[in-house]
Structure 1
Amino acid sequence: MRHSEFWNRMYDHLGEGYARVWAGDQVLRELDGRTVEQALESGEPPKVVWRAVWSALELPASER
């Protein structure tokens, strides 16, 4: 998964305005207590970050 696909999925589920705010504020246990933005900035693959987001948002299996 590329960063652009990751952000498109975030926008689809949270909206363009809120997705970036959520990514900067929401600390996820699955990302070792980092925010989405911190995880991506530290080099975590977007696919790994997406799985954490998917779990946190309790999205359907089809969105995984």
Structure 2
Amino acid sequence: MHIDIDKDLCIGAGQCALAAPQVFTQDDDGFSALLPGHEDDDGPLVREAARACPVGAITVTPAAR
């Protein structure tokens, strides 16, 4: 899976970091960011983090082959 955060949509609610703290964090400005090396993580917590985003700034898509 590939994880993308739309920085223009993100409001810094932090729901992603609460749902999947091993993948998401918040940057110095308080907006969502991926932890290094986790751009392609998969799992139910990643999908839950995308679902929990109040503005839909996170998308999880199948990785390109």
What range is the shorter-chain TM-score in?
A: 0.3 to 0.5
Greater strand share, structure number:
2
Provide the TM-score with structure 2 as the length reference: 0.34
Q: Which has the higher contact order (CA 8 A, sep 6+)?
A: 2
Kindly indicate which of the two structures has a greater share of residues assigned to helix: 1
